Amino acid sequence: MALRVPPPSLYSSSVTCSNPQRCFFATCFIRIPVSPIRLSCRNLLKSSRLHERSRLYALNPNGPNSENGKTTALKTHESGGGDDGGGGGGGGDGDDGKTEKGTGPLPEWLNFNADDAKTIIAAVAVSLAFRTFVAEPRYIPSLSMYPTFDVGDRIVAEKVSYYFRKPCANDIVIFKSPPALQEIGYSDDDVFIKRIIAKEGDIVEVRDGKLIVNGVSRNENFIYEAPKYEMSQIVVPKDYVFVMGDNRNNSYDSHIWGPLPLKNILGRSVLRYWPPTRAGTTVFPEGCAPELRETMSTP
């Protein structure tokens, strides 16, 4: 809608204005009677003054001569305040729009995604499968197998070969405690290490400081000393083996609690990896002991 301009007689033809920026609005105060035009001019001038005052305050709230005017203007602009003093909805605090990285209850290296979880689960599964079906490390806690093993030695016991053959004499095996030991307080989790000296069907005895199997004295150059005890003949039952420690006089083995069930055997010692100075294979060089039996001469 166009404004109706009053006749020229109602206002002066010449206007002096001290502020050029306000010359446009000066005409509103020169002999203009109360009319819609005068009210519109008055409102327009008032709005212009408020706008200018707000802009000046935003630039320098401490006055035009303040030394902090420039800094205040930067902070006001960065905090989301407009030139017209409105808004400010950003709620900024002068950090130039930067946000701090949130810190959770766990350190950064423990934060992982679904792919990391899958990798960890797969690694654990492979490790458990390897330990259960292939091989596992073991620690020697006693002197029952001295001098073959000393306290603190660490070995690897493999579990693959017994899938294809039965344990034989001279194998060094690790096994779970048999029922005879569990009856006196050992648990199924307790693991022992001994050497097999006879298998099912063999007749074992200890006499005169010698181990005799099927009537034949064994030549054992790996033991610490000759046994100082006597043991009467024992027939090894089916699916059992007879085990003894290489430190014959300081070993809690089959000569005390009887034959060992095959199902309790966990694996066969094949490697000592600690200490490094004694690292090497633990497999008997001659392999399984020969199956020799005493021959009876006939007249």
Report the C-alpha gap between 4 and 237 in whole angstroms.
127
Report the C-alpha gap between 51 and 66 in whole angstroms.
21
Report the C-alpha gap between 292 and 299 in whole angstroms.
22
Report the C-alpha gap between 293 and 23 in whole angstroms.
133
Report the C-alpha gap between 37 and 30 in whole angstroms.
12
Residue tagged active-site, from 13, 40, 47, 144: 144
Query: What are the beta bridge partners of residue 281?
Result: 271
Catalytic residue list contains 144: yes
3-class secondary structure per residue, 9-45: HHCCCCCCCCCHHHHHHHHHHCCCCCCHHHHHHHHHH
What are the b/e assignments for 254-289, b being 16+ CB within 10 Å? bbebbbbebebbbbbbbbbeeeeeeeeebebeeeeb
Catalytic residues: 144
